[in-house]
Structure 1
Amino acid sequence: MRKTSVSSSIVLNSGPVTLVGGGQASIEDLSEALKIAPICVAADGGAALALRAKIPIEALIGDFDSVTAASLLQIPPDRQFKISEQETTDFDKALTLVDAPLVIGVGFLGGRIDHQLAAFSTLVRFAHRPCVLLGAEQIVLVAPPRMSIATQAGEVVSIYPMAPVQGVSTGLEWPIDGLRLDPTGRIGTSNLATGPATLNMESPNALLILPRRLILPVVQSLLHPDAAGWPLRAE
């Protein structure tokens, strides 16, 4: 049985948590995430989708500049956590206040490009908190130190560097071994799998973009007892 507790500043859960944002997402997207991560936390305006789907909200976190008054009336006050500072995004606020082995983010891809870029920055900055963003056709996560990926031949595997990074791979048409990936230089988008693939990365500076169908095996890999994670970044 999953144990969940909420304090004034954090959500603690022993299993994966779904975090819903206010971007483009459907009830079907949220339902798919909840099958894997059944506890729902809303980041500000993401409450609207959860309420429309009639999903109980464990906690609402954000600066409340996009959640409606009507939504707030449907959420118990003791589950509302308003953080008024404007130095961080609602995704930042929510991700840092959710203590769980994995977060699945719904409503953070699609729509405004600046919002997506901000979400990618958050993923990399808080790489020690594993998070998979679910989009209409793809999933996005920080490439972990090592991972086996159940790709099929011909599937697109993109490795996008958010800062200089190196790694090694197997099962890709264009291996990344010996390459220095850099957002202002060589990037690793639109690679193709030749079958099951593996990645080993030297630092938490690369986004891994995969077909949406792989969300369950990716989550299972990240939650495996032997999975390697990234440490908290040094200040």
Structure 2
Amino acid sequence: MKSPLVQCPDQCPGLHFCDGITLVGGGPASARDLALALRLAPVAVAADGGADRLIAAGITPTAVIGDLDSISSAALARVPSERLHRIAEQDSTDFDKALRALTAPVILGLGFTGARMDHGLAVLNSLVRHAEKPCLVLGPKDVAFALPAGETRLRLGPGDRVSLFPFARVTGTSLGLEWPLDGHVFAPDGFIATSNRASAADVVLRVDQPGMVAILPRNRLRQAIRAVSR
């Protein structure tokens, strides 16, 4: 692996990569999606049981992060011990543990949606709480990412779906949306902005603080990566 790797000791692994990371969980993910993700983000990292999926595809993960209660004994035997990063606390998900540990230009999450609704909500919660991380979660039909405070620019096609869901109280403005964000206060138990649409090729979203998740169609994955990449 070309990417330099720097590790911090104990139960706070700091894994820093110069290339994009494909972070694989234990949920549903097709071989085609895995191949796509690895083309865009070539460093393969597993969140706990995601290691089994990578090894089944013939890929030894560069790192495995989590409490390691889901990875199989067969997969454990295939991963060098120095690549296992156990974080024993039970107050967060393996996806959250991985986000805390990883630093990269972009993190593309795969295998974290499509199985259980509560797992999906936990993933979106982690995206919002770590909005400073350039992470996108790829689903069967969508790609989701958290908007950081300030401005996010997207190059889309007129008519593209732009769904925005608040996980906190957020205000903002927009350019290039059919229904502008201006003048609204968004909240999970209040006003939301799902099923909005792009009305122009250039869409600009500005929010006053983290708390908003953007959900775009799968065919806009590359545009979303460009918007969040560091």
- TM norm structure 2: 0.92
1:135 to 129, 135, 139: 139
Amino acid at match of 2:180: P
Alignment partner of 1:170 is 2:166 = no
Pairwise CA distance, 1:67: 0.9
1:18 to 22, 38, 46: 22
2:199 to 194, 198, 210: 194
Distance in structure 1 (CA, Å) of the matches to 2:101 and 2:15: 6
2:221 to 205, 215, 222: 215
Q: Which position in structure 1 is the counterpart of 2:87? A: 83
Pairwise CA distance, 1:56: 2.8
Distance in structure 1 (CA, Å) of the matches to 2:3 and 2:68: 27
Distance in structure 1 (CA, Å) of the matches to 2:221 and 2:121: 21
Pairwise CA distance, 1:171: 1.5
Distance in structure 2 (CA, Å) of the matches to 1:141 and 1:10: 22
Distance in structure 1 (CA, Å) of the matches to 2:164 and 2:227: 18
Pairwise CA distance, 1:167: 0.9
Point out the more displaced range, 5-14 or 78-87. Answer: 5-14
Q: Which position in structure 1 is the counterpart of 2:5? A: 5
Deviations 1:170-227 (A, max 9, x none): 2111111111011111100011112322211111110000011111122123236xxx
Give 3-state SS (helix, strand or coil) of 1:166's partner.
strand
Residues 109, 116 of structure 1: 8 Å contact kept: yes
In the TM superposition, 1:110-125 aligns within 5 A as 110-125=114-129
Distance in structure 2 (CA, Å) of the matches to 1:109 and 1:46: 13
Residues 3, 14 of structure 1: 8 Å contact kept: yes
Distance in structure 2 (CA, Å) of the matches to 1:178 and 1:2: 48
Residues 171, 184 of structure 2: 8 Å contact kept: yes
Task: Structure 1 unaligned segments of length 5 or more: list them.
Answer: 225-235
Pairwise CA distance, 1:6: 4.7
Identity of aligned residues (%): 42
Q: Which position in structure 1 is the counterpart of 2:161? A: 156
Distance in structure 2 (CA, Å) of the matches to 1:108 and 1:130: 16
CA RMSD of aligned residues (A): 1.5
In the TM superposition, 1:39-78 aligns within 5 A as 39-78=43-82
Distance in structure 2 (CA, Å) of the matches to 1:61 and 1:201: 31
Q: Which position in structure 1 is the counterpart of 2:130? A: 126
Give 3-state SS (helix, strand or coil) of 1:105's partner.
strand
Distance in structure 2 (CA, Å) of the matches to 1:139 and 1:4: 28
Pairwise CA distance, 1:4: 2.3
1:95 to 87, 94, 99: 99
Deviations 1:37-60 (A, max 9, x none): 100110001111111211231111
Give 3-state SS (helix, strand or coil) of 2:224's partner.
helix
